Amino acid sequence: MINDKEHQILCNADEHILDEIRKRMYNGENIWSLPKRNRHDSGHALFQYPAMMVPEVQRTLVDIVKTSQPVIHTLIDPYVGAGTNITAGMHNGLNAYGQDINPLAVLVAKVRSGPFYIEALKERTKYVIETANLDQSTKIAIEYPNRQKWFRNDVALELSKLKRAIEQDDKIWARRFMWVTLAETIRLTCNDRTTTYKLHARPQYEIEDRTVSPLATFTKLISNNLQDLAAYKCELTKKGYINRGRFNGKVIVSIGDTTLNLNNLRSQGPKYFDLLVTSPPYGDNKTTITYGQHSYLPLQWINLRDIDQQVDKTCLSTTLSIDTNSIGGKRSRNLETQIDRLRQLSQSLANTFDKLEDKPIDRKARVASFYDDFIKSLDNVVAVLKKNAYMIFIIGNRSVGGVEIPNHQILCELLETRNAIQVTQFERQIHHKRMPHRNNNSLMMRTEKILIFRKTTAQGEIP
C-alpha cells in the first residue's frame, strides 16, 4: 500500500509533467508537430523506414518525464521500429532497450545506437567501395523466387559486388552500418515503386528506361550517412554521453515478438523498466502499413545473422511472412467467440464491433485479430514495468469499412483495467511521418494522440 508521503511525491511528479507540457506548448505551439524539422536528426535518414517518429518530439517527451522523475534510468520500446525512441533515451542519458519482430527494423535501430567510430567507418567503407568496383565476378550473389521481377540483371550484379565486399569486413558494427546503407540502395534501385510500401513493380517500360547504378547510389549514400552519424555523435558528445566512440550507457535492441514475451531484453537488462516510450501499430500490417513487404527486398541481400543471432530465415519465406507474423496478422477460426471476449475488455471496442455489424465480416475479423494480439502484447509490456513507471504512447486512429477505430480511447480503457492512471493526453499534427494517408483498405489519420500514463502497482500487487 502507498503511504501519504509517497502519494504526495507521485502527485507532485504528475503535476510537474503537466506544468512542463503547458510551459513548452505555450512557448512553441508547434512543439509536437514541428513542420520544419531536421530530417537527418539522430540518424533518421539512414534508411527510409515507414512511419518513423520525430526525434525531437520524442526527446522532448522523455526529457519532460525524466526531469519530473530523476530516478528514471531505463527506457523500453517494445515496438521499436527504426529506433527513434531509443535515440531519445540516449539523448537523455538513459539505458535503452528495444524489440521488434521485423529484422530490418532491428538492424536500423542497432546502427543508430552506435558505436560511432566515424574515422574507422570512413576507411572501411572506402575499402568496401574500392573492392566492389574491382570485383570482376559475373555471379549474382542471391537467388530467390521472382528475383528477376524485382532487380534488373545489371542492378543485381552491382548489388552482388557490394554484398561480397561488405561480407569481407571483419567488424560487425561496420558491416551493420553498410548493410543499412545497402538496404536504402536497394530501395532506390530495385524495380519496386517507392511511392507505396506494398511491393508493386514499376511498369516494364519504366524499368527498362531507368538509369540506376547501385555502386554509385551506395557511394553517395555512404557519404551522407557518415555525415549524419558524425553529427549525431557530436550531439551526444556535447551532452557527455560518448566515451571513446561508444554511448556510455547500455543499449540493447533485439529481435522478438512482443505478443509472446520480452525475455530477450530482460535477460540482458533489468528485470523491470522505469519508462515506456512507444508508438504501437494502429492495426494489422497487411491493411495499414506493410512493414514486412517494405523490408522484404533489402533483407534478401543482408546476412541475417549480422542483424541478430535469433533471426529465423523463414521470415522471408514469402513477401507476407513478416506481416503475417506481426500483430493481427492471423485470423481466428472462431471469430464470434473472439469478439465476445474482446467486448468485455473495452466498451469503446464493443461499440466499434456494433458499428461494424453491417459491414463485410472480414472488417470485424481484422479489428478482432489485431486487438487480440495487441492486448497480449500490452499485458507483457505492463508486466515488465516498475511500479510508478511512466508510459508514453503515441497512437493514431484508423478507419475500417468507413468506421473510425478509436484506438486511443480503447488503449485508455485497457490501461485503466491494468492499474494505470492517465496523467494527460494531447494531440499532434502529422506533417512528415512517412505513411500513407489513404490506401485500399483504410483511412490513415492526419493526427496522433500522445498519451501519458503511470502504472500504480507492482507486478502481482493487489491495488
256-301 pLDDT tens trace: 999 999 999 999 999 999 999 999 999 998 889 999 999 999 999 9
Q: What is the pLDDT of residue 442?
A: 37
Q: Is residue 132 part of a domain?
A: no
Cell numbers placing 218: 551506395
Element (H, E) at 274: strand 273-278
Q: Is residue 343 part of a domain?
A: yes
CATH classification of the domain holding 300: 3.40.50.150
Cell numbers placing 211: 538509369
Q: How far apart are CA 196 and CA 136, in angstroms?
A: 35
Distances from the Cα of 223 to the Cαs of 133, 228, 229, 264, 402, in angstroms?
16, 9, 10, 34, 45
Q: Is residue 220 part of a domain?
A: no
> 180 CB contacts (<8 Å, ≥6 apart)?
46, 47, 107, 108, 111, 225
Strand partners, 247: 242
Q: Is residue 294 part of a domain?
A: yes
**pLDDT tens column, 376-397:** 999 999 999 999 999 999 999 9
Q: Is residue 200 part of a domain?
A: no
pLDDT tens, position by position, for the chain (463 residues)? 556 556 566 678 899 999 999 888 876 657 888 767 788 899 999 999 998 888 999 999 999 999 999 999 999 999 999 999 999 999 999 999 999 999 999 999 999 999 999 999 999 999 999 999 999 999 999 999 999 999 999 999 999 999 999 999 999 999 999 999 999 999 999 999 998 899 999 999 999 999 999 999 999 999 999 999 999 999 999 999 999 999 999 999 999 999 999 999 999 999 999 999 999 999 998 889 999 999 999 999 999 999 999 999 999 999 999 999 999 999 999 999 999 999 999 999 999 999 999 999 999 999 999 999 999 999 999 999 999 999 999 999 999 999 999 999 999 999 999 999 999 999 988 765 554 444 443 344 688 999 999 999 877 665 5
Nearest CA-CA partner of 122 in 235, 233, 240? 233
Distances from the Cα of 343 to the Cαs of 64, 315, 351, in angstroms?
35, 32, 8
Q: Is residue 462 part of a domain?
A: no
Q: Residue 239 sits in which domain range? A: 4-117+230-455
Number of domains within the chain:
1
Q: Is residue 138 part of a domain?
A: no
Q: Is residue 214 part of a domain?
A: no
Q: What is the pLDDT of residue 461?
A: 65
| 71 secondary structure, DSSP code | T
Residue 361 CB neighbour total at 10 angstroms: 11
